[in-house]
Amino acid sequence: MIDRFIAIINMSLTASCVALGVMIVRLLLKKAPKIFSYILWSIVLFRLICPFSFESSLSLMYSSDISKEVIYTQAPNVSNNVETIDNMINTAIEKPIKAPDSGTSVNPMELALRIGSRIWVLGMIILLSYGLFSYFKLKHRLATAILIQDNVYETDLISTPFVLGFIRPQIYIPVGLDMNDFDYILKHEQMHIKRRDYLIKPIAFIALAIHWFNPIIWISFILMVKDMEMSCDESVMKQSREDIRESYSNSLLSISIKQNGLISPISFGGGNTKGRIKNVLNYKRPRFWIVFIGIFVVITTGIVLLSNPKTLSPKKIDFSVYEIYKNRTEYVGDNVKVVNIVDRLPISQALTRSKVELFTKEEPYVIEITYDTSRTVREYFSGADNQNVFDQNAILIFALVGNVEYVNFVLDDGENDELIQRTRDWANYNMNKDVWKDSSTMEQFDLLSQKVMDNLAKDDISYELDILALINNGRRTKRLSVNDAPYVENYKRIEVIGEIYYIYEDGNKYYVEKPYEFINELTGEDYNDINNTNELISGKIEESDDKVSQEIVDMIEENLSIIMSSPKDASNPWIYIDMHQNEYEEIIKNGEEEALQYMISQFEAGNIDGLRGQIMMILCKELLGDRNNVIDEALSPEEWFSQLNIK
């Protein structure tokens, strides 16, 4: 119930922004035919009843909704980038919902939403019941009406003409109308039927009943009905070959005098009589350029208000020091900021944050973050050596939230969960400082975050988790995997966290297959991301296979310097080696293949002048053993290397 209520609030906020935009555009179209203003209200109606829309870079809409995490918010506020709406809502909730101290466990927002959702349902039921009761009461009252022509009925029980019915709409008019009035009334009501207004207004009323708590929607409904009636008046006058403005206005006036307050779905003489008469008297047949501008404005307004702004892919989180630091707070109870911090933490694509819970009833205060994931990923992260990303994020949280003592990460695969817990003492010990105090400025936090990121840099397994997330992001097909490999000719085999998968293209579609388990259809973007990431991992592995560690390089260079240091007057390299046998043996025993690889690279670079080249040649020969194909011992280092085939 609460989730639905939050969804309705989000739709209502979006529709309110659209309604305000339509009201502004409506003023600009004051001289244009009212049909354009009437059409614009369909945009608001769409936003009120449809929870989704298409995306466009031309959209002027905001992209921030009220999250379900507002349930955990003790000091709620709404920010939708529309100051009028923000101030209205925040002022309304500021006094009744006060933020408790950080040590309390009372959750006023959850309580308020629970009560609010019930009041919302009750109000909706009352309003819809009233509408249905009024409709059937009126229909029963008109049972004795006399049919005078086609679908037109006459009765002395009403004083205002209107259309009633949804499937076969009927026109009801009061008895004793003047013939001129009757003609205009009939054309007006027939125009309502022709435009299906008898369906549009009830649908708008249902939308109003759902969003009854929003005053902007009430105003919109009233303005929509005014534009409906005025545009209908204009359509009648447009179809007439004569100037009927004066006589039509007199008909409006005479009908309004006889009104008795009867509520009807669509009424010819109902409400805003003064505005309608004024609009009729000022009516002029629109020129082509006015109609053209009106069409252009309606189409443009529809695009910018119907569409949602384009969003970046949620798969990748761009860590911004400024964006996360501006939410820094001393208290766990400042829930809005805490949730914002959590959502800005760098995290693997294989993890989807589902819930943030704050335990503030008593010390020690705890932040618990739950991530939905797969069994494979949960099992991987259960290993202590694979929890670097949680170490990193825990340190960042302790630096940004002053009084939290425990940070819990819960990995939930739908059947089992894994708890990873870090404490403030652990963070301070590992960073050798008080991370909260040492992050008192954004510059200090920037240095801390860089140090944390550098120490816990993304490794190959993180890329594999990204691939796994993309695989799981695919749409499960009904095709069965019944072989060790796909039936297509061209496929690529990839290994992800010890599991074998195949990716391939078939019939202009992209698939990932896990033998004997499933076949998922991928988007072209995800297929390319998997392929590119897999190639990146392969390249990193090949590069790491060829790369000598800096530790080995330092060891070799240090020992070479010692070996060449004495005796100064000798020319035979073996004399130097004999005097520094320990250093020589250290290169052989500790360096092994990496030492050989490094010294070969020195030969390739030409860094083999004099004694250095002689000693490295001797070292390489011993490390090569039987692989040394050069037998001639009289060759110089350059000559020996030029004849070596192992290169």
Q: Which of 150, 177, 137, 376 is nearest to 268 (CA)?
A: 177
Residue-wise pLDDT tens digits, 142-152: 899 999 988 89
Phi/psi at 521 (nearest 5 deg)? -90, 135
Q: Residue 480: is its pLDDT beyond 80? A: yes
pLDDT at 566: 85
pLDDT at 546: 53
Cis, peptide link before residue 364, omega less than 30° from 0:
yes
Contact 360, 103 (CB under 8 A): yes
> How confident is residue 207, by pLDDT bands cut at 50, 70 and 90?
very high
Joined together, the tokens standing for residue 620 give 């390489």
pLDDT at 92: 55
pLDDT at 489: 76
Q: Which of 590, 567, 581, 647 is nearest to 618 (CA)?
A: 581
Q: Residue 542: is its pLDDT beyond 80? A: no
pLDDT at 45: 94
pLDDT at 367: 94
Of all residues in the chain, the percent with pLDDT exceeding 70 is 85
Phi/psi at 359 (nearest 5 deg)? -105, 105
Q: What is the 3-state secondary structure (H, E, C) of 257-281?
A: HCCCCCCCCEECCCCCHHHHHHHHH
The letter for the amino acid at 108 is P
Question: How many CA atoms lie less than 13 Å away from 459 in the CB half-sphere?
Answer: 9
Q: Residue 515: is its pLDDT beyond 70? A: yes
Q: Residue 314: is its pLDDT beyond 60? A: no
Q: Residue 422: is its pLDDT beyond 80? A: yes
pLDDT at 260: 56
> How confident is residue 93, by pLDDT bands cut at 50, 70 and 90?
low
Count of residues in the chain: 647
pLDDT at 283: 84
pLDDT at 315: 41
Q: Identify the DSSP state of 633.
A: T
Q: Which of 7-11, 157-161, 438-442, 555-559 has the weakest average pLDDT?
A: 157-161
Joined together, the tokens standing for residue 646 give 């192992």
> How confident is residue 348, by pLDDT bands cut at 50, 70 and 90?
confident
Residue-wise pLDDT tens digits, 260-310: 555 544 444 456 778 888 888 888 888 888 889 989 999 999 988 988 776
pLDDT at 270: 54
pLDDT at 418: 92
Q: Residue 159: is its pLDDT beyond 60? A: yes
- C-beta neighbour count of 67 within 10 angstroms: 16
Q: Residue 335: is its pLDDT beyond 50? A: yes
User: How confident is the model over 343-371, as a mean pLDDT?
Assistant: 88
Residue-wise pLDDT tens digits, 566-621: 887 778 889 999 999 999 999 998 888 888 888 988 888 777 888 889 999 999 99
pLDDT at 71: 52
pLDDT at 317: 42
Mean pLDDT for the chain? 82
pLDDT at 479: 83
> How confident is residue 67, by pLDDT bands cut at 50, 70 and 90?
low
pLDDT at 322: 80
Give the rounded distance of the alpha carbon of 537 from its chain centre.
Answer: 28
- C-beta neighbour count of 410 within 10 angstroms: 18
Q: Which of 252-261, 373-382, 488-497, 533-542 has the weakest average pLDDT?
A: 533-542
Strand partners, 509: 506
User: How confident is the model over 394-404, as a mean pLDDT?
Assistant: 94
Q: Residue 454: is its pLDDT beyond 80? A: no
Residue-wise pLDDT tens digits, 16-29: 999 999 999 999 88
Joined together, the tokens standing for residue 157 give 């029980």
Q: How far is CA 149 from CA 14, 68, 115, 236, in A?
A: 46, 57, 53, 20
The letter for the amino acid at 49 is I
Phi/psi at 396 (nearest 5 deg)? -65, -40
Q: Residue 421: is its pLDDT beyond 60? A: yes
